[in-house]
Amino acid sequence: MTWQAMALLLSGFVVAGILSYRQHLGYQRAVNELADAENRSGVLLVSGRAKGRLRGAIVLLAIDRRRGHVIRARAMEGASVFAGFRERPELAGPVEGAEERAGSKAMAKAVHEALGMASRLNAGTLKSKAA
């Protein structure tokens, strides 16, 4: 292997690492923004992820514990490091039907995981299929 090929390979790894770090910062920023916006008593902030062979999804849900409703949802879905978080108003509403409102299989799996986490944090009092 020539030095040019090695340099090209190394630069590819560096670029991939930088883009992955940028995506991580986007996740961190989305979590902090949602936590700041929904910082009040009785609201849980949970996340779930789904990994696929080609596409994945990460969802952030703000859930009202008392009513069992998703107040706000943000999701990142895609196959590359260029995917970003977007508001998902279709996920807002009762916890019971959140998975059906997800739209895609990866998103439904991520919502299922997030609701499972919410159920564990809320001592199993949330009504969902994840419990």
- This model's pTM is above 0.75: yes
CATH number at residue 42: 3.90.1010
Encode the chain in three state secondary structure. Answer: CCHHHHHHHHHHHHHHHHHHHHHHHHHHHHHHHHHHHCCCCCEEEEEEEEECCCCEEEEEEEEECCCCEEEEEEEEEECCCCCCCEECHHHCEEHHHCCCCCCCHHHHHHHHHHHHHHHHHCCCCCCCCCC
Task: Supply the pLDDT for residue 39.
Answer: 85
Rounded-to-integer distance, Cα 22 and Cα 5, Å: 26
- Domain-located, residue 73: yes
**Per the domain annotation, does 130 fall within a domain?**
no
Q: Output the pLDDT for position 126.
A: 65
Q: Is residue 129 part of a domain?
A: no
Predicted local distance difference test score (pLDDT) of residue 127: 56
Within-domain flag for 102: yes
Q: Would 19 be classed as within a structural domain? A: yes
Query: Are residues 48 and 121 in contact, defined by beta-carbon separation less than 8 angstroms?
Result: no
Answer yes or no: is 131 within a domain. Answer: no
pLDDT of residue 95: 87
pLDDT at site 109: 92
pLDDT at residue 84, as a whole number = 82
Number of domains in the chain: 1
Does a structural domain hold residue 127? no
**For position 125, what pLDDT does the model report?**
62
Kindly state whether residue 75 falls inside one of the protein's structural domains. Answer: yes
* pLDDT given for residue 131 in this prediction: 44
Residues of the domain holding 67: 3-121
Give pLDDT tens digits along the chain (131 positions).
799 999 999 999 999 999 989 988 989 999 999 999 888 888 889 999 998 788 889 999 999 888 889 999 999 887 777 788 899 999 998 988 888 888 888 889 999 999 988 888 877 666 554 44
